[in-house]
Amino acid sequence: MSSPSIKEALFNRRMLICIFTGFASGMPLYLLISLVPAWLRTEGVGLKEIGFFALVGLPYTWKFLWSPLLDRYQLTLFSFRPGLRRSWMLGTQLALLAAIAGLGFFDPSSQLWPIAWLCLLIAFLSATQDIVLDAYRRQLLSDEELGMGSSIHVNAYRIAGLVPGSLSLILADILPWQTVFIATSAFMLTGIGLTLSIREPAQAARHPTSLRSAVIEPFNEFFSRQGVKQAGLILLFMLLYKLGDSMATALATPFYLDLGFSKTQIGLVAKNAALWPMIVGGILGGILMIRIGINRALWTFGLVQIVSILGFAVLARVGEGVWLLALAISFEYLGVGLGTAAFVAFIARSTHPAFAATQFALFTALTAVPRTVASSATGIIVEGMGWENFFYLCTALAIPGMLLLLKVAPWNGDQSVLGKTVSR
């Protein structure tokens, strides 16, 4: 099948759906990694405790354990049966709406554990929503559209981060936190609106007919298709490619606060400075993936991603300047946005549409390990070695994932429809 033109790849209903799936997916995650740490820090909670709060993200790591349920069963919601994919989308989105709104009813100074448990529930619901949104997108897009669709999804995902990471912070300067969380939760209505307006993908009808097959077949298919050795290298690459980036951004908001920037400055400058580079970079990245392929995009965008981490080190050394803050954040969002777009496209290409939920959940769960387990120690590392040296360490930790590209996505290699590497 010939590759679609740039116009055909950009302007169609499937790409519009990817905007909404990205926004719905990103909102609850950025609430946990951006707004909640800022809330806790302004209420006097220490960096060590905030760092350990990253552990509430463990459901993102372990979501593959319950993903077969989403491939096998559909939910019935108040006698409404919207279909296999849409039922899970609607169920998780309604629950997230209520859980996020409930955060503001707790006091961080005396109810840290209840807040942690509620954040854990939000992470579980968010991870479950990600499972079904990823599966829906994989079954919606053709293989030729994966690069552009993933790029649009990722950038909408990051734009969603401007709600808890920018708008909510600005509101927090003038409104009680309870009102802020209720207002933030209302943005989940965009995901609910999407779910109610779309159809089930045609391939969703090809789901496993038993729980046993839903658990076993996705793993058998992947390892038989790739071979055990190559499959192991691919899984290791998925674990390491975003390690340095995930650690560098784990405590981003507390980092800005420690440098002396106000919540309003962070909301207006640090967050919005990322918007246009993120949008331009995402569109450019998607177009480049049409032209150069996913393999070369992983190399090119990954290098930009590594260099962008060093911008934080420069900011930590200088320690002040709104313009430097804006520049560092803009470069970071450009690099990380490009790298993530290519990475998500690679993950999607590595899955089989018939087992999209479980395979996608397993692969993306591996990418969540650095963001949860490794990032949980970032507070201790920062307090031990300082912000600048911490960002140098993050840069070094990004290199092993790049080296694995030699085996899993060689520069002069390409992949067929289901991911087997062949020579050009």
Residue 126: the pLDDT is 95
Q: Which one, of 168, 164, 137, lies nearest residue 28 by Cα? A: 164
The burial of 209, by beta-carbon neighbours within 10 Å (0-12 exposed, 13-18 middle, 19 or more buried), is given as exposed
* Dihedral (Cα; 36, 39, 44, 47), 10-degree rounding: 30
Residue 376 tokens, joined: 């949980």
150 within 8 A of 348, measured Cβ to Cβ: yes
Residue 3: the pLDDT is 54
The burial of 423, by beta-carbon neighbours within 10 Å (0-12 exposed, 13-18 middle, 19 or more buried), is given as exposed
DSSP state for residue 370 in the 8-state scheme: I
Q: How far apart are CA 82 and CA 196, in angstroms?
A: 8
The CATH number of whichever domain residue 165 belongs to comes to 1.20.1250.20
121 lies in some domain: yes
**Coil, helix or strand at residue 21:** helix
Residue 362: the pLDDT is 84
Positive or negative torsion for Cα 163, 167, 168, 169: positive
Count how many domains the chain has. Answer: 1
Q: How far apart are CA 307 and CA 397, in angstroms?
A: 12
Give the domain range for residue 312: 6-423
Residues in the chain: 424
1 lies in some domain: no
Q: Would you tell me how many other CB atoms lie within 10 Å of the CB of residue 91?
A: 20
Number of C-alpha atoms within 13 angstroms, CB side, residue 86?
Answer: 18
CA 394 to chain centre: 18
Q: How far apart are CA 183 and CA 166, in angstroms?
A: 13
Strands 413-415 and 421-423: antiparallel
39 within 8 A of 172, measured Cβ to Cβ: yes
What b-and-e string marks burial along 284-321, b requiring 16 or more CB atoms within 10 Å of the CB? bbbbbbbeebbbbbbbbbbebbbebbbbbbebbeeeee
201 phi/psi in degrees, rounded to 5: -65, 145
Q: How far apart are CA 25 and CA 196, in angstroms?
A: 16
58 lies in some domain: yes
255 phi/psi in degrees, rounded to 5: -60, -45
The burial of 110, by beta-carbon neighbours within 10 Å (0-12 exposed, 13-18 middle, 19 or more buried), is given as exposed
255 lies in some domain: yes
Residue 410 tokens, joined: 């060689």
Q: What angle do CA 23, 323, 394 make, to 5 degrees?
A: 65
Please list the pLDDT of the chain residue by residue as tens digits (424 residues): 455 556 666 667 888 899 999 999 999 999 998 899 889 988 888 778 887 877 888 888 788 889 888 888 888 776 677 788 899 999 999 999 999 999 989 988 888 899 999 999 999 999 999 999 988 988 888 777 777 888 888 778 878 988 998 899 899 989 999 999 999 999 999 999 999 998 887 665 566 777 787 888 888 889 998 888 999 999 999 888 888 888 888 788 888 888 888 888 887 776 567 667 767 777 777 788 877 888 898 999 889 888 888 989 999 998 878 888 888 888 877 877 787 778 888 988 888 887 888 888 888 777 777 666 766 778 888 888 999 999 999 999 999 999 999 999 998 775 433 344 433 3
Coarse DSSP helix, strand, coil percentages of the chain, rounded to the nearest 5 percent:
80, 0, 15
Residue 416: the pLDDT is 39
Which H helix or E strand runs over 421? strand 421-423
26 lies in some domain: yes
DSSP state for residue 351 in the 8-state scheme: S
Residue 419: the pLDDT is 41
